[in-house]
Amino acid sequence: MKEKEIDNMDKNVKKGRAHLLISGRVQGVAFRYYTVTNAQNLGIKGWVRNCWDGKVEVVMEGEEDKVKKLIDWCYQGPRSAIIEKVDIKWEEYRGEFKTFSIKWL
């Protein structure tokens, strides 16, 4: 494939951004660390953090189908997690992140 064709293919990929709040037993079970690993494997950018109220918050951006895969994973989380609820807010893609990392309060 020519370089120009590859550039055009990349521009045609639909991008997405999602903001999640995950409730349940999601702190103290390595949820953030597994989220980082899964996001990096999918090429997703953004961050994850523990909230003061026991929830985990995630902001992610990337190819929409890969964002949806990470959201699907968040419904299960690591083995020791118990997910009670996942609130999802879809937002406009901004392209503001270079990596996916843990954000500290």
Catalytically annotated residues? 32, 50
Alpha carbon of 89 to those of 4, 40, 60, 62: distances in Å? 34, 21, 11, 15
- Give the strand order in the sheet containing 15-25: 82-91, 15-25, 56-63, 45-50, 100-102
